[in-house]
Every structure is written in C-alpha cells, then in structure tokens.
C-alpha cells in the first residue's frame, strides 16, 4: 500500500466549490481507477491537504483514462485552485499502519 499527500491552494471564496468538486473527483478516482479512498484536511494557514491510499505504486501510476463527463468534474475542481493544479504531490511508502476506522469507539 502507498499513501499520497496532495496539497491544494484554493482561491479565496471558492472553498466550498473546491470541497464539493474534490469529493466528486475523489469518488470517480475510487470507483474507476482503484484508489482506496482519501481524506481531506485543512491547515490553519488555509491550505488543503488530502491523504489518499492506493493498493500499490503501479495502480497509482497506471494510465487513467477519464471520460469526458469525469474530466469535466476534475476541471471544476482545478478551476478552484490558484495554479489550476495541486500545489504539490508526495508519494509515500507505508512503513507502519496504525490508522483506525472505528468511529463508534470514539463516541
């Protein structure tokens, strides 16, 4: 498994449009290209950071062919970004995984 960190510098005033388009884009990537999903975080500075998981580097780097409709959703997200693309992307190998998903235990 690998982790991918993606930083997004969002145009001021377009934050909700970014979040909505990011969620739809992420669902497309999960459904069509085999990711294991993603979480979106926001730093105090206003920078958004997504952490995505993929089964392996090959799956992440495979050629992903976007349909016209799916590419339009991705373009909506990119149109909310200062540079029109993510600020940076880091691909990380997993060394140890202690992330838990048991939300019920936290209540």
Q: What is the mean pLDDT for each group of 10 consecutive residues in the chain (107 residues)?
A: 96 98 97 96 96 95 96 98 94 89 60
Nearest Cα residue to 89 out of 49, 34, 62? 49
| 6 in any annotated domain | yes
| 103 in any annotated domain | no
Q: Which residues contact 88 (CB under 8 A, 6 or more apart)?
A: 5, 6, 7
| 104 in any annotated domain | no
What CATH number corresponds to the domain at position 30?
3.30.70.100
Domain count, the chain: 1
| 65 in any annotated domain | yes
| 34 in any annotated domain | yes
| 31 in any annotated domain | yes
| 105 in any annotated domain | no
Nearest Cα residue to 40 out of 57, 21, 54? 21
Considering only CA atoms, give the Rg of the chain. Answer: 14
| 17 in any annotated domain | yes
- Domain coverage including residue 41: 2-96
The reported pLDDT for the residue numbered 14 is: 98
pTM reported for the whole predicted model: 0.89
Nearest Cα residue to 57 out of 91, 89, 32, 90? 91
């Amino acid at each position: 498994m690998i982790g991918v960190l993606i930083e997004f510098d969002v145009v001021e005033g377009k934050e909700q449009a970014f979040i909505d388009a990011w969620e739809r884009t992420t669902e497309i990537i999960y459904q069509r290209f085999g990711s294991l999903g993603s979480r979106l975080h926001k730093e105090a500075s206003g920078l958004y950071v997504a952490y995505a998981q993929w089964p392996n580097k090959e799956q992440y780097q495979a050629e992903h062919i976007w349909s016209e409709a799916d590419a339009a959703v991705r373009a909506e997200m990119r149109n909310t970004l200062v540079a029109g693309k993510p600020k940076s992307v880091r691909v990380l190998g997993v060394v140890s995984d202690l992330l838990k998903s048991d939300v019920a235990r936290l209540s």
